């Protein structure tokens, strides 16, 4: 008797990103942004990473674009009286950020767009860059590399580990 085939194979339930892949995609993002800043020869004034997910791409962008002035903004999703909202946990240096002009604000992905919407209100002149984007939040991003469907969950390498899996035909 053959085992019935599930609608989706295990690897199709999410988009699993390796370290190599995030490195390549973040480099592609850097190359797309290079020379498009408002400074002399298209330079950018600095980078602000949205923690925590934005820190890995921000580090790769900083290396490729030779940017050494980097700050962070901490944004956390929270639930309060069954209404979900966002809370800014730490603010970057206001003298560095100003209105955001010349600053690249970097995150790993945009999903609903709520995180970027909030940060955009704070720094309206910044350039918003993410490595991955889902359709709902795409309007909030100025530059991104890869779009995935809204029902795809992106798994990042810092949230995963290599582990043994049963052969496909051996599974329940």
The set of catalytic residues is 107-108, 111
75-79 long-range contacts, CB within 8 A, separation 24+: 75/50, 75/51, 75/115, 75/118, 75/119, 77/114, 77/115
Tell which positions 47-66 bind ligand PRP, by CB under 6 A: 50-53
Binding partner selected for residue 24 from ligand PRP, Mg ion, ligand HPA, none, CB under the kind-specific 5 to 8 Å limit: none
Whole-number minimum distance, CB 109 to ligand HPA, in Å? 6
Q: Tell the smallest beta-carbon distance from residue 147 to ligand HPA (Å).
A: 12
- Return the number of the residue (37 or 131) whose C-beta is nearest Mg ion: 131
Q: Which does 103 bind (CB under 5 to 8 A by kind): ligand PRP, Mg ion, ligand HPA, none?
A: none
Q: What is the dihedral of CA 111, 15, 128, 64, to 10 degrees?
A: 170
Collect contacts of 156-163 with beta carbons under 8 A, ≥24 apart.
156/17, 156/22, 156/53, 156/56, 156/108, 157/17, 157/18, 157/19, 157/21, 157/22, 158/56, 160/16
The residue within the footprint of ligand PRP, chosen from 44, 70, 97, 115 (CB under 6 A), is: 115
The binding site for ligand PRP (CB under 6 A) comprises 50-53, 77, 107-115, 137
* Known binding-site positions for GMP: 111-115, 153-154
* Known binding-site positions: 52-53, 107-115, 153-154
């Amino acid at each position: 008797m053959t085992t019935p085939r599930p609608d989706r194979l295990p690897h199709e339930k999410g988009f699993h990103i390796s370290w190599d892949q995030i490195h390549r995609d973040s480099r592609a993002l850097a190359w797309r942004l290079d020379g498009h800043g408002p400074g002399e020869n298209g330079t950018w004034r600095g980078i602000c990473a949205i923690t925590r997910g934005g820190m890995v791409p921000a580090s790769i962008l900083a290396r490729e674009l030779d940017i050494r002035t980097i700050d962070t903004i901490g944004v956390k999703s929270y639930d309060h009286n069954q209404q979900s909202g966002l809370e800014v946990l730490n603010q970057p240096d206001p003298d560095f950020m100003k209105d955001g002009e010349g600053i690249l604000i970097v995150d790993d992905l945009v999903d609903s767009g709520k995180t970027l919407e909030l940060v955009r209100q704070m720094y309206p002149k910044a350039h918003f860059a993410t490595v991955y984007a889902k359709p709902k939040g795409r309007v909030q991003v100025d530059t991104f590399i890869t779009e995935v469907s809204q029902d795809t969950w992106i798994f990042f390498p810092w949230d995963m580990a290599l582990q043994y899996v049963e052969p496909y035909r051996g599974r329940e």
